[in-house]
Amino acid sequence: MCGVLWLVLLAFGMNPARAEVCLTTTGFGSLVDGNVSRAEKTAFDDALFKAYLETALRFVPGSSSMELARVLKTFVSSRGNQDVVQYKIVSRSQLDAMLILSMDMKINETPLREWLQGQVLTTPLDLRPRIILVITTRGPGQSERHEWWTSSTPKGYSPFETQLAKNLREAGENVAGPPLHITKPPAGPDKAIILADSTGADLVITGLLSHKSIDATMMESRLDLSLMDSRARQRLTSTSTTLKGTVDEKTMHDLLITAVMGQLREGIAKKVVRVKPAVSKRTLCIEGIRDNDTYQAIIAALRSMAGVSSVTISRVQGHTACHILQIQGNLQDVMESLRQRNIVPADMIIEGDTAYFRILNQ
């Protein structure tokens, strides 16, 4: 048995180091004109997207979850199924014209992790730049004007600023509201920077929104915005757009925000700290290995952990296999997570940078 175990562990350790995760997911596909193969392909793609989404949510703070769901399709489209290590259809059913596949999937999550970090989706809300909005709204009436900073006790953002703040927050950005009190309402070209400084904001979105009624049903709106770094006194980006249509004011706001949102977020991303925890190498020795299924269950559990980047064998002797773990965080958290999996009764000891997982005889 020991000789066989040697060969199995050695072969397992020679596989390229990668972080794998196993999931059970369900995909749906429409049966159009009785085309089963097309429905199966659609159901597989649906299940794969959900597997990526479930995996990604382990690395993304809740404040970025809505933005993740929006942009993840780009990643999935670019990768296809090349990160699928293994899959198995567990069950297949049909409900009216809907094909439903329940699947077990094992995917390599390393490319997904790297993409998430590049998209700054892993940065928690508190580490993202604090943003304040200083946008003048004029019209559509001749005397209509909204500038919250002209009052010593601001009543709140304008309807347009409120909608823009909501959209930015849903995208995971750290948008502050106006202060409750202003000692001296600022004026002049530097008013936005002064307000940002007084509220502790890192960035300020400032500009002018003008509404003009052309007739009883037609409205023309022009939006000019700048994203400023308040500390560096630097303009990061600016954008302008003009729209005309027979829509109400709220709908016009939505259309204008959609037109400028991408450029604003690109500018904000330049100032977001990319969170990539330092990776350290630690040793884990698994003692008392009696069967390969138990051993591989332990390794699979380790590789599925968010804080473990890779697991590779460094030494095998008798019924003991030692490994090099690349981890983000500390070894104690990894071992505690492994203990909670309840794979097999075991004692766990940590001595410095080495952990021992001693399987108990049953």
Please name which of 204, 188, 209 lies closest in space to residue 236, comparing C-alpha atoms: 204
pLDDT at 87: 92
pLDDT at 362: 61
> Domain 20-118 belongs to what topology?
Dodecin subunit-like (3.30.1660)
- pLDDT of the chain along its 362 residues, tens only? 444 444 444 444 434 445 678 889 999 999 888 888 999 999 999 999 999 999 898 888 888 888 898 899 999 999 988 999 899 999 999 888 899 999 999 888 888 988 888 888 888 888 899 999 999 999 887 778 999 998 888 889 999 999 999 999 999 999 999 988 888 878 888 899 999 988 899 999 999 999 998 887 888 999 999 999 998 999 999 999 999 999 999 999 999 999 999 999 999 988 987 666 667 899 999 999 888 888 989 988 888 887 787 888 888 888 899 999 988 778 988 999 898 888 999 999 999 899 999 998 76
pTM score > 0.75 for this model? no
User: Quick check: do 20-118 and 129-269 share a fold?
Assistant: no
> Domain 129-269 belongs to what topology?
Rossmann fold (3.40.50)
Integer angstrom CA distances of residue 290 from 83, 107, 211, 297: 31, 27, 75, 13
What is the maximum alpha-carbon separation in the chain? Answer: 89
Please name which of 225, 204, 202, 205 lies closest in space to residue 272, comparing C-alpha atoms: 202
Measured torsion, CA atoms of residues 191, 197, 202, 206, in degrees rounded to the nearest 10: -10
Please name which of 183, 180, 175 lies closest in space to residue 204, comparing C-alpha atoms: 175
pLDDT at 47: 94
Domain extents for the chain? 20-118, 129-269, 277-359
pLDDT at 10: 44
Q: Beta-carbon neighbour count of residue 36 at 10 Å?
A: 11
> Domain 277-359 belongs to what topology?
Alpha-Beta Plaits (3.30.70)
